[in-house]
Chain A
Amino acid sequence: MTLPTLSKNGGRIRADLQLVADLVPAGVRVLDVGCGEGALLHHLAQTKNVDARGIELRQEGVNACVQQGLSVVQGNAETDLKDYPSDAFDYVILSQTLQAMRDPRGTLGELLRIGKHAIISFDNFGHWAMRLGLMFEGRMPVADAPRHTWYDTGTIRPCTIRDFLTLCGDLGIEPERCFTVHGGGRTREVAPGSWRARLTARQAVFLLK
C-alpha cells in the first residue's frame, strides 16, 4: 500500500495506526480491511482483547498474519465485502487503502453496512507541499515518494480531506471525529471543516458512523 509495512518494534506501531487503535474500544469485533502483515490487528488483539479479523489481497501478507495466529482471509475488499452480513462488526478499519480502490464510494457504503462504525485513514493530497509542488514544479504529487512515482504508485484515487468530506456528504455520512497526522508523526483532533487541517495534514483519520 502507500506506506511501508510496519514491524512490531517493541509494541510501537506507526503513528496513524496508533491513532486508529486508540479509537477502538476494548472487546469489540473488528475487521481490518487491507490488513497487510497484521501489525494493527496484532496490536489490537494484544492490547484491546478484540475479536480481530482481517482481509488482505496480497498472499504474503495473509500468510504472515495466519502464521502468527490472526484470523485473516485472502480476498479483495471490493468484491468480497458484500458477503458479510450487515452490522457483523463493531468497527471496520480501512487504513491507507481507500486510495488504492477502484470504487472508493461503493466500498465506503459497504464498510458502513457491515460495521457499526468505520475508521478510515488516507493521505491528504491537499497538503500545502503537494499543492505547491504541482503549482511550481509542475509535478503530480505522490504520497509514497520517493519509493514510488506517478506511474507505479498504488494510489489510483488520490483525494483531499475536502474531497472525502464531500463524498461523505453525498452518502449522507456524518463524520463523528477527525484526526490529522503531521510531520514527525504528531497527531491532533480537529474539526472536520478546519481549513488549517486541510493544508497541514499529511494524513487524515476519520471515525464514521
Chain B
Amino acid sequence: MSIPHSQDSSETAPIGDAQAERGTTEPPQTGHKVLLGAPAPMKLDSGLDLAGFTLAYQTYGTLNAERSNAILVCHALTGDQFAAGRHPVTGKRGWWDNAIGPGKPLDTDRYFIICSNILGGCMGTIGPKEPNPATGKPYSLAFPVITIGDMVNAQKLLIDHLGIDQLFCVIGGSMGGMQVLDWASRYPERLFAAVPIATAARCSAQNIAFHEVGRQAIMADPEWRGGDYLAQNTRPERGLAVARMSAHITYLSETALHRKFGRALQDRKAVTYGFDADFQVESYLRHQGITFVDRFDANSYLYITRAIDYFDMASEHGSVAEAFKGTKVRFCVLSFSSDWMFPTAESRALVHGLNAAAANVSFVEIQTDQGHDSFLLDIPDYHRTLTGFLNGAAAHRGLTGRGLIAK
C-alpha cells in the first residue's frame, strides 16, 4: 500500500521516515529490566497483589552525583520506553526523539532521562501478553485490571530502585500527563516539577466512548478468542487495526486532516464505485491500523484504555484542588488549541483546581491546528516553553550544568 505522506506520528508511533533514515547507523537499543514487587508485593487499586514483576525501562543522559537531575518521562497509550534514539522493534526514531537529546528541551547533557514501559504494556513490562507464573501461559484476561495509579506505583518502585529521592521533573502527554498528575498528587515530595501535557484530571465521557469502540472492535474479531489468542497461536489483527483507526482520528484535527488529504484520491483518477480505499485518508488510516498491529498487543490495548477510563482525580480526592492541597511542586500545564480529545477547557479546569490549591503553576495553550498529536511534534513555541519552564525550575532547584545558573 502506498502511503500519502511520511508523517506517522500519532500517539507515540515512531515519527517520520526521514528521521528513521538518519538514525540507521545507530544500533537499536536494548533497554533495561528490573524485578519489582519482591519480596513485598505491590498492592493494586483493585485490591489484588502484584508480586515479582518485571518493569522495562530506558535511560538517556547521566545521573549527577547528587542524583538530582532525573526526569521521568511518562508515555502515552501506545508508547513505550524507547522515547528517543532508534527503536529496537520498528527501527524508527523513538516517539519523543525530537524533544530528548543534547540541546533539545529534555537536554541529555543536563538531565538524566528515565522512561519506563507502563504496567500492562507490551514492550517488556508485565502485561497480559507475559507468561502467568501460575500457568506458564500468557496472562491474557487473567491479568488484573490496572489503573493509572498502579502504573505510577510501579514507576515509584523503579525510582526507589534507582536510588533517586526526588525526581527533578515528571513529564508526559495524554495518558502520560495523567501519570504526571497522579505522581504529583500521590508522591508530592518525590518530584520537584510536573509537566502534564495535552491531558486532563479526568477521562471524559467522549474519550471513554472512543475507547469502548476500540475495545468492541478487538473483542468482535473472532481471532480474539475470548482474549486467549496467544495461547491459540493467533491474533485479532483486524479488530486491533480498527481500534487504532478510530483512535487515530481523535488524535488529529479536522483542519489537519483536511489539509493533509482533503478529498484527494489514492492512486486513481476517479472513484471506483466500490469499497476499496478510494480516498487518501482511507489509505492512510488503513496503514496506521496495519502497522500498529505489528508492535502492539490487543489485550494490552484493552487494559490500558480501561486504566484511562477509570482516571478521575476529583472522584478520588473530592476535588482537583484537594488532590494537590499544600503542594510544593512547580507545575507547567500545556494544551494545544486544536486538541479536541483533551481540549484546552480540560487543562483550564485543571489549572483552576491547582490555583485553588495555591500551587505554583504555569499554563500555556499552544496555537496549532495539529490536534492532540501536537504533543509529539516539534512545534517551536511548544519546545521553547518546555525549555523555558525546565530552565526556570532548574534554577530554583539549584541544578547547575551547561547553560544552567544556580539561583
Contacts and interface: CB of A to CB of B under 8 A. Distances in A.
A43 interface: no
A71 B363 CA distance: 8
Interface string A56-98: 0001001101111111111100001001110010000000000
A66 B389 contact: yes
A83 B355 contact: yes
B33 interface: no
Interface residues of A, number: 21
B351 A75 contact: yes
Contacts of A84: 355-356, 358
A74 to B, nearest CB: 5
Interface string A19-55: 0000000000000000000000000000000010100
A70 B396 CA distance: 11
B364 A62 contact: yes
Nearest to A53: B360
B395 A69 contact: yes
A28 B152 CA distance: 34
B362 A88 contact: no
B385 A66 contact: yes
A69 B356 contact: no
A80 B357 CA distance: 13
B99 interface: no
Contacts of A73: 333, 351, 355, 361-363
A74 B387 contact: no
B16 interface: no
Interface in B350-407: 351-353, 355-358, 360-365, 367, 381, 384-385, 387-389, 391-393, 395
A80 B352 contact: yes
Contacts of A70: 362, 392
Contact of B362 (A51, A71, A80, A83): A71
B362 to A, nearest CB: 5
A88 B356 CA distance: 9
A71 B360 CA distance: 7
Contact of B361 (A65, A69, A71, A85): A71
Contacts, number: 67
A69 B358 CA distance: 18
Interface in B174-210: none
Nearest to B392: A69
Nearest to B337: A59
Nearest to B393: A69
A88 B361 CA distance: 13
A74 B358 contact: no
B362 A72 contact: yes
B235 interface: no
Contacts of B362: 65-66, 70-73
Q: Which of A69, A70, A80 has the most CB of B within 10 A?
A: A69
Nearest to A49: B407
Contacts of B351: 73, 75
A83 B388 contact: no
B364 A74 contact: yes
A70 B330 CA distance: 11
A68 B385 CA distance: 8
Nearest to B390: A69
Interface in B66-101: none
Interface of B: 330, 332-333, 348, 351-353, 355-358, 360-365, 367, 381, 384-385, 387-389, 391-393, 395
State the 10 A-B residue pairs at the shortest beta-carbon distance, nearest first.
A69-B392, A67-B388, A73-B363, A83-B355, A88-B358, A83-B352, A66-B362, A83-B356, A71-B362, A67-B384
11 contacts: A59-B364, A66-B385, A66-B388, A68-B392, A69-B389, A69-B392, A70-B392, A71-B330, A75-B363, A84-B356, A88-B358
Interface of A: 51, 53, 59, 62-63, 65-75, 80, 83-85, 88
